[in-house]
Structure 1
Amino acid sequence: VVAKKLSYVYIDTGAMYRTITYAALEQKVDIENEEKLMEVVKNVNIEFQQGENTQLVFLNGQDVSEIIRTPEVTNRVSIVAKHRLVREEMVRRQQELAEKGGVVMDGRDIGTHVLPDAEVKIFMLASVEERAERRHLENINKGFDSNLEQLKKEIAQRDKLDSEREVSPLKKADDALELDTTSLSIEEVVQKIMSIVSGVFAK
């Protein structure tokens, strides 16, 4: 939504790791094995296209926008994302996408590692409970089986894995502005982000 308002390109870096995870699972590759994972990565072409109301993600020409959001992928993506070589290749691709500027990039290590010189950095927070509620509703709307209590555990575990990983862990950049979205609607979040962006660009 923010990217659309700014006429920028939106890049969901999490979707890139999800796509790699999905490809590895489809090929029955051991996701703990970095060497085998890298063979998958080398043969994966990830493209983004703007749909009517959402961003579409393509894996070697196949639309995987929905399937990469399934619990099977979600619960394994942090394992894939912890591997150094996988992250290095994904970061290289993300930096390549951002080279021309005019992008809104969403991810867990953007401000600290991928684009440390970004003009605007916003570190968005929400409680585990709130994020679980959001994912629960999203799953139900998409027709996926969903258990709210299980989601809370999975989200907390993913936060722990991402915060403690050796390579570019999840953390706030020193110069990032913090935005707690726990009690905010999407419209309110967008409004606050646009206000921050306007303030930075006005300087």
Structure 2
Amino acid sequence: MALGRVLSGLGPSNLAALGLGHRVEALAYTVCEGFGAAASTIVGQWLGAGYEKEARHAAAHAAKFTAWVMVPLSVVMVLFPVPIVSVFTSDPVTVAASASYLRIIGFLAPAMGVEHVMDGALIGAGDTLPSLIWGLLLCLARLAAAIWLSGRFGVAGVWWAISLSTAVKAVLKSWAFQKSRLPLLAQRRQ
């Protein structure tokens, strides 16, 4: 809601642009969630069998694979945003703002895949606190960055805040999984 306030203050079409961007991005989000669920399952299975190395390898492999799966969608979002959003609206201001959103988000769409896979891997390991902490902190940081960047770059600053916070979450959640004590494995050993 706070992000919506920032966007509304930058012009009435920007909130609509975010909504349209989210509709297009929903395809990528759904794919990423599927890979996250798969990572949760495979990490949990490996750890349940007592294989830490294999669980960590499976998570890393799933993250890389998901990032690569996101590349074609990323390319489409960056190169063809106007035809995509024109399916939903003919308002030129909303089209321009939505196209800007898709171009910027598209650059870091593979990071969304890594973030979701690492969320799943942490869930599969029974270590959900890092996802909660990093998710909350970076959502707050996203808002602060959106306010700051919008003052310098307008609505594109908000889009960059969203995109960059996703990339940072991907890095931090990957790090959290690498450093995790893997509680599911510890339970098995008791």
What's the TM-score once normalised by structure 2's chain length? 0.31
Q: Which structure has greater strand proportion? A: 1
- Structure with higher RCO (Cα < 8 A, 6+ apart): 2
Q: TM-score, normalised by structure 1?
A: 0.30
